[in-house]
Amino acid sequence: MKFEQRIPRETSARLFEEAQQYFPGGVNSPVRAFRSVSGPPLFIAEGHGSHMTDVDGNRFLDFCCSWGPLIHGHDHAHIRDKVIDTVRKGTSFGTPNLLSNQLGQLILDNHRYVERLRFVSSGTEAVMSALRLARGYTGRSKIIKFDGCYHGHVDSLLVKAGSGLATFGTSSSAGVPENVARDTLVLPLGDRDLLEQTLTEFSSEIACIIVEPIPANNGLLIQDRSWLECLRIKAWKHNVLLIFDEVISGFRVGFEGAAGLYDVQPDIITFGKVIGGGFPVGAYGASKEIMDFIAPVGPVYQAGTLSANPVAMAAGLAALELCLEPGFYERQASRTDQMATQIEAYAREQGYPLHVPHIGSIFWLAFGTERIERADQIDPDNMKYFKMIHHELLQTGVYLGPSGYEVGFVSSAHSEVDLQEAVAKICAAMDVAFAAEAVLSVD
């Protein structure tokens, strides 16, 4: 269908055309290219609180929140002031610094599931390092991952399921050697029998099981606690390590992330996004015994020029201080639940095939009426609805990530008025999308 542009996007369109001369596809991360939705991508000029403004002067209520890091919204005064104060003293030294000690202590004092940390510069780097640590600690090479869980652009995890249910993975990206993909076993989420079968068959070769405890990169595939407990028990039984990838869920659904929410102890946890307060930061953590395998005290090498950069440490410290305020996570979860429940109620009232899975301050617009727990339950044909809803929301000043497979985030900067505005506009966008689909079906 033809999309009517009711807001100016000429400057963004011109900048995007120019950007294509500099960057592959005009972007520095693929989904930013808006290929799953309509029109050119928006070039954002500034953000304050719950809103951001593009180069054409359009103002948007933002539920992408830089893909999750901005749990306190844009330009929060406490974070900004801490960053500016740090920048005035220098931006990078390549040495230990006090701020990394302070952030490390803050996390470890308030997180029961890790005893030692190593800061890196991204969630992908954290996952890559955690896998190397698991292989170094166990002396084994193979890993188990699950279809529908995304762990960054690490070669051995850019792997999709092969022709059988439990197969050696096949590369899902050019440039990933097949011999790398062969060390990754891809299983469906929730299949306990197949997990046991795979662990039994390859137990002497498997270093670790890696999972998003709250899969949130391919829809929001909320799992039962019993599944995570099963992973923990199976890992102990077969003497393999369990890695929770909490790049999204860490410090988002609670200060202790999904590990704390479900009270399941993984062997290694990876962090990103919220931990950096809007700056590029990742980390991985585990027990002292496991982390002592990392250089310089152990044989597993990992290093980074900008790891624990003082400016990023300052931002992360300020952000997590705010997260530790009493009742912070309870308020976030309650407000998100209220918003999601109102949208769902309207969809049911109108007979629209849409529901809103949510946990903590994460939500997802899911099409259909049945609970979705695995990636293969998502019907790609339903993304036509998201494309229409996304377009309509842009015209009315609401910004969601430009893909129906991406989740949304509520920040502490979103006021009750903001959330009620979002509910009204999302419901109105559903009216447009499903009415358009009805017309197309008749035609």
Show me where the domains of the chain are located. Answer: 10-75+326-442, 77-323
Q: What one-character DSSP code corresponds to residue 36? A: T
The total of other beta-carbon atoms located within 10 Å of residue 10's CB is 11
d(CA 149, CA 375) in angstroms, rounded, equals: 8
> Catalytic positions, please?
150, 245, 273
322 backbone dihedrals φ, ψ, rounded to 5°: -65, -35
Residue 164 identity (one-letter amino acid): G
375 backbone dihedrals φ, ψ, rounded to 5°: -60, -35
What's the CATH number of domain 10-75+326-442, 3.40.50.970, 3.90.1150.10, 3.40.50.300, 3.40.470.10?
3.90.1150.10
Q: What one-character DSSP code corresponds to residue 218? A: S
Look up tokens 């999972």; give the residue: 211
- Shortest CA distance to 405 belongs to which of 356, 360, 351, 366? 366
Q: What one-character DSSP code corresponds to residue 4? A: P
CA distances (Å), origin 355, targets 76, 248, 278, 342: 32, 21, 30, 10
Per CATH, the number for 77-323 is 3.40.640.10
CA distances (Å), origin 337, targets 44, 66, 108, 170, 334: 28, 21, 29, 38, 5
User: Which pLDDT score, from 0 to 100, does residue 164 have?
Assistant: 40
User: Which pLDDT score, from 0 to 100, does residue 441 have?
Assistant: 53
Token pair, residue 116, equals: 């030692």
User: Which pLDDT score, from 0 to 100, does residue 162 have?
Assistant: 45
User: Which pLDDT score, from 0 to 100, does residue 181 have?
Assistant: 79
User: Which pLDDT score, from 0 to 100, does residue 43 have?
Assistant: 98
Contact 389, 375 (CB under 8 A): no
Mean pLDDT, consecutive 10-residue stretches, the chain (443 aa), reads 86 98 96 94 98 98 98 98 98 97 98 98 97 98 95 84 47 76 92 97 96 97 98 98 98 98 98 97 98 98 97 98 98 98 98 98 96 95 96 98 97 98 98 78 45
User: Which pLDDT score, from 0 to 100, does residue 170 have?
Assistant: 63
Q: Is 399 helix (H, G, I), strand (E, B) or coil?
A: strand
Residues in CB range of 60: below 8 A, 6 or more apart: 42, 51, 52, 53, 54, 394, 397, 398, 399
Q: Is 199 helix (H, G, I), strand (E, B) or coil?
A: helix
d(CA 231, CA 443) in angstroms, rounded, equals: 49
Q: How open is the CA angle 328-411-266, to the nearest 5 degrees?
A: 65
159 backbone dihedrals φ, ψ, rounded to 5°: -135, 140
